Amino acid sequence: MDFELTEEQRIVQRNVRQFMLKEIAPVAEQIDREDKFPPNVWKAMGDLGILGVTVPEEYGGADFDLLTAVLVIEQIGRVCPALAVSYGAHANLCVDNLSRNGTDAQKRKYLPGLCSGELIGCLALTEPNAGSDALSLRTRAVKDGDYFLLNGTKMFITNAPVGDVFIVYARTANSGPLKESFTAFIVEKEFPGFQVSRALEKMGNRGSPTGEIVFEDCRVPGENVLGEINGGVNVMMGGLDVERAFFSGEPLGIAQGAFELARQYAMEREQFGKPISSFQLIKAKLADMYTEIEAARGLVYRAATLADRMQRGGKGTEVHKMAAAAMLFAAETATRVSNQALQIHGGYGYMLEYPINRYYRDSKLYEIGAGTSEIRRMLIADEILQRGLEYV
């Protein structure tokens, strides 16, 4: 096993780090306070070449391996978790998905704009009553000549209030197994009958817009079916391991950002005549935080490397449980580390003028979004119960 990053990976890591420090860090607090990103942030990320991080170059992407993509989202999350959420929804849930499942015509039509930052992408799966139980979705698509008519409501959709291109799952068959009854569609915000009905206010990751979408006889051309009709499950599940491995970089970055703030504060703040970093209780916290972050990093990077090498993910593959474990552990590490980091700040940590409270509020999302910790635990348990650990 090789634990060294390649020269190219290091360069990408450094470039994103510099971009985040220069362009985003100075406005990160404002983004949280005003609950919106500054204009041009998508264009700037497009110029940096990270929006189509896993997309082939011919469609405007950077064609990086998955570990490099993880390094990118990690560096974004380290400074501004909210931006990482929006970036992840765009670059993975929408763009990577389109890149893997789209026809050549679909890719030529949408990917260049999505990679340059001209278009913002979203994925619409969750519904008010279909959360963890995603397959129970009720949005319907009915064939009407060359079009499909979509009706239904989608909930908690990242980027929806500002999105241009949506991958939407809708039920297309009334009978048969649930898994073979729905289809993925590419929907543009201009399609008649499409409407973002409201923006949702969240505790954290403020700035990353979240919304509810309503489809009322929304007309989607037949050529915008993504994958096969009634084959939505392949589009949904095919990329799940990649998605989990990719997204696990985000809480890893948050944990690191929170740790750095706490380390700095502990060295500067004096009580009882010495810096609080000289007290054993604080030292122990910092040591535990570091250890957990590095344990998470090992798991996250390994899952990403594995996901890249596997031809196929899904049930029965090693990457399936490893990617879920990476996400489970990185997410819970982020909440524990950001909690300890706030605690080290004491009363100051609780004030909005210190950035650590933002990391605390932001981190909690990762135990919930893109699959809850419970769903991850169920998946891991099912895999190891059926197949053991597969170690020699």
Partner 1 sequence: MSEMTDPVVVGVSEEEKILKETVRRFAEQEIAPRAQEIDAEDVFPRDLMTSLGKLGLLGITVPEEYGGAGAGIRAQAIVVEELARVSAAVASSYAAHSNLVLDNLNRHAGPSIKEKYFPALCTGEKIGCLAITEPGAGSDAISMRCTARREGDHYILNGTKIFITNGPVADTIVVYAKTAPKQGSKGISTFVVEKEFPGFSVGRKIAKMGHRGSPFGELVFEDCRVPAENLVGEENAMVRMVLQGLHRERIVWSSEAVGIAQGAYDIARKYAVEREQFGKVLADFQMIREKLVDMALEINLGRLLVRRCAVMADMAMEGEVGLQASYAKLFTGEMAERVTSKGLHILGGYGYTKEFQIERYFRDAKAMPIGAGTSEIQRLIIARKLLE
Measured distance CA(200)–CA(197) in Å, rounded? 10
Cβ atoms < 10 Å from Cβ of 2:
6
Task: Between 21 and 351, name the residue whose CB sits nearer to partner 1.
Answer: 351
Give the nearest distance from C-beta 211 to partner 1 in angstroms. 11
CA distance 72 to 18: 11
Q: How far is the CB of 203 from partner 1 (least distance, A)?
A: 4
Question: Closer to partner 1 at the Cβ: 177 or 347?
Answer: 347
Contact 184, 232 (CB under 8 A): yes
Active-site residues, by number, are 243
Write down the least CB distance from residue 385 to partner 1, Å: 15
Contacts of 222 (CB under 8 A, 6+ apart): 143, 146, 147, 148
Nearer residue to partner 1 within complex by CB, 39 or 273: 273
Q: Residue numbers of the site for partner 1 (CB under 8 A)? A: 126, 129-133, 136, 155-156, 200-204, 210, 270-273, 279, 281-282, 335, 339, 342-343, 346-347, 349-353, 357, 360-361, 364-365, 367-369, 372-374, 377
Alpha carbon distances (Å) from 144 to 141, 216, 324, 350, 360: 9, 14, 39, 55, 48
**Which CB sits closer to partner 1, 11 or 200?**
200
Smallest distance, Å, CB 251 to partner 1?
14
Q: Tell me if 283 sits within 8 A of 340, measured CB to CB.
A: no
Question: Measured between alpha carbons, how far apart are the two ends of the chain, in Å?
Answer: 16
State the minimum distance, in angstroms, from the CB of residue 91 to partner 1: 21
Q: Based on CB atoms, which residue is closest to partner 1, 16 or 342?
A: 342
Structure tokens at 191: 């399609």
User: Do the beta carbons of residue 190 and residue 146 sit within 8 Å?
Assistant: no
